[in-house]
Amino acid sequence: MNPYFNEGWLAILVLVPLMGMAITAKAQAPGKAPAAGGDTPAFLLPALPYAQDALEPHLSARTLGVHYGKHHQAYVDNLNKLTAGAKMAGLPLEAIIRQTAGKSDQAGLFNNAAQVWNHTFFWKSMKPDGGGAPTGKLAERIHAAFGSFDAFKTAFTEAAMAQFGSGWAWLVQEGDTLKIVKTSNADTPLAHGQTALLACDVWEHAYYLDYQNRRKDFVQAFLDHLANWDFAASQVE
Ligand code: MN3
């Protein structure tokens, strides 16, 4: 009697049903529970407004790849986990941020929702060949609020440097006035009744691969080469 004959048939007898189960399981996974709305997450990572290498040499593709592809994506993923099956999942991001702001029992939800919003705003606050000075009405309002554009730049840099640890520097509109504010961690002007015009992320992950501990050089590059003043002007109310 040939022992290989028996083993071969044994293998076929065991493997064929297993393969069938695998194929069936694979075919069922993507379409499971279509009646419940499928697996489409409530919040998606918005597309970057430019290519990942478009801000070089001031911000590298490596920095943008990690910052957008890992950090921003993680905030989106966490937000989806935290809102899964909850009523909040159906609300606009801004409403979640306003509803959870200042509530210590909802800090996780606030932090992730606000960071999704802050980063989307930050990408729009930059553009290739940005920087320079604003024009038109925004320029007039900056002069009225800070005395000159140079004075604005000095004050914005000081705010970015004075933010101890992780956070953000912002140009905001509050009523009829423009202000520079800094916020800690995920905190955002949205939670304080202010309208954000321009954002600079000063978490170390925003600049460390390119500038290491030289936050001031990063802020300078942001103002001189990246700031998108057309976007800022479009946000003025
Ligand atoms: Mn960041």
**pLDDT (tens digit, 0 to 9) for every residue of the chain, 237 residues total?**
444 445 544 444 444 444 434 333 333 333 223 334 456 789 999 999 999 999 999 999 999 999 999 999 999 999 999 999 888 888 999 999 999 999 999 999 999 999 999 999 999 999 999 999 999 999 999 999 999 999 999 999 999 999 999 999 999 999 999 999 999 999 999 999 999 999 999 999 999 999 999 999 999 999 999 999 999 999 999
**108 and 156 assigned to the same domain:** no
For ligand 1, the distance from its centroid to the CA atom of residue 233, given in whole angstroms, is: 23
Ligand 1 being an ion, which residues bring their Cβ within 5 A of it? 201, 203, 206
For ligand 1, the distance from its centroid to the CA atom of residue 70, given in whole angstroms, is: 10
Residue 125: name the closest of 36, 55, 183 by CA: 55
What DSSP designation does 122 have? H
For ligand 1, the distance from its centroid to the CA atom of residue 31, given in whole angstroms, is: 34
**191 and 159 assigned to the same domain:** yes
The pairing of strands 195-201 and 177-184 is unpaired
Encoding tokens for residue 236?
Answer: 């003025």
Total count of domains within the chain: 2
The span from the CA of 209 to the CA of 71, in Å, is 14
pTM (2 d.p.)? 0.83
For ligand 1, the distance from its centroid to the CA atom of residue 142, given in whole angstroms, is: 26
For ligand 1, the distance from its centroid to the CA atom of residue 105, given in whole angstroms, is: 23
- Domain range for residue 176? 136-235
For ligand 1, the distance from its centroid to the CA atom of residue 204, given in whole angstroms, is: 8
The span from the CA of 111 to the CA of 97, in Å, is 8
**Structural contact between residues 231 and 131, judged by C-beta atoms closer than 8 angstroms:** no
For ligand 1, the distance from its centroid to the CA atom of residue 93, given in whole angstroms, is: 17
User: Does residue 22 fall inside a structural domain?
Assistant: no
**109 and 143 assigned to the same domain:** no
- Say what angle helices 107-124 and 93-100 make with each other, to 10 degrees: 130
Unique residue bearing structure tokens 């990063």 = 218
For ligand 1, the distance from its centroid to the CA atom of residue 119, given in whole angstroms, is: 6
**192 and 163 assigned to the same domain:** yes
User: Does residue 15 fall inside a structural domain?
Assistant: no
